[in-house]
Amino acid sequence: MTDTPRSPMPPALPDPLSLLAESLLAHEIHTTQAQLGDRSTYTGMSDIGAATECLRSAIARKLASPGTQPRTIPPQHVGSILKRHLPLHRGHWQEAGITDALTRSGHRLIPQLEISASFHGVPIKAHLDITLIHEAPTPVIRVLELKSNGHLPETLYTSNEVQLYGQIGLLESTGIARAVRFGTRTASRSSPARPSRRRLGSSSASTCQAHRKA
């Protein structure tokens, strides 16, 4: 008698938590590249903010090579990855929900506004999560920077405060605020799900332009 060949055993399904950790890492790499581009080619407002708290850490992060998706994650690392990346992704998901809620409530806003500038030859970019535009009773522009924290601090972190002031400064340098204040130009509202690229202004003091990220 001849033995009947056995079919190979199917590969074991990954552990649910390992699957989640791998998926979060893959999603983060894709989202970062799609929204922020190659961060090694410019200095972002978050980099400047981080440098105010720890310059060495901020420089090390800029010099680190871009992340790549690992094929497998060792089981002993799954817990630490979930602990770090779940709050980060919660912030991204929260941003989309808040943007949609504000839009459906009738507020005029620009989602994901990107401002590019050059200072002494150094490329700088600011990415504004939500830019709210109020025209009555007084024309006002508000910049909302959304963060996902484990707890609500009593005072702003220095890095977050510097990042926000930098965003507001670059926004002012584009002339958008003056245009809205005097009614010479207004930004149109659109669905945050499909933001179109739009050049909003420039500054003669430095090479500075703003557009919505595609």
Amino acid at 105: S
Cα–Cα distance for residue pair 52/40, rounded to 1 Å = 19
The tokens of 63 are what? 């010099």
Q: Which candidate, 18, 48, 7, places its Cα nearest to that of 158?
A: 48
Cα–Cα separations (whole angstroms), residue 41 to 3, 44, 63, 114, 179: 62, 10, 11, 15, 30
Comparing 206 with 106, the larger pLDDT belongs to 106
Tell me the C-alpha distance between 9 and 6, whole Å: 9
**Mean pLDDT score of the chain:** 76
Task: Give 102's pLDDT tier (boundaries 50, 70, 90).
Answer: very high
Q: Does 1 or 164 have the greater pLDDT score?
A: 164
Predicted confidence band at 211 (pLDDT cuts at 50, 70, 90)? low
Residue 18 has pLDDT above 90, yes or no: no
* The pair of three-digit structure tokens given for residue 213, joined into one six-digit string: 């990220």
Percent of the chain with pLDDT over 70: 72
* pLDDT greater than 90 at residue 188: no
pLDDT for res 163? 94
pLDDT for 106 equals 93
pLDDT tens-place string over residues 192-207: 333 333 334 333 334 4
Asked whether the predicted pLDDT for residue 213 surpasses 80, the reply is: no
Nearest-angstrom CA–CA distance, 189 and 17: 39
Query: % helix / strand / coil in the chain, to the nearest 5?
Result: 45, 20, 40
Which segments within the chain are labelled E, that is strand? 43-44, 108-119, 122-134, 140-144, 208-212
CA gap 206, 176 in Å, rounded: 15
Pairing of β 108-119 and β 122-134: antiparallel
Q: Is the pLDDT of residue 49 over 80?
A: yes
More confident position, 125 or 148: 125
pLDDT digits 0-9 by tens, 57-83? 888 888 876 655 556 778 888 888 888
Distances (CA, A) of 92 to 86, 97, 98, 147: 10, 9, 10, 9
Q: How confident is the model at residue 48 (pLDDT cuts 50, 70, 90)?
A: very high
- Burial label, 143 (beta-carbon count in 10 A; 0-12, 13-18, 19+): middle
CA torsion, ordered 39, 43, 47, 52, to nearest 10 deg = 160
Instruction: Determine the pLDDT at residue 179.
Output: 60
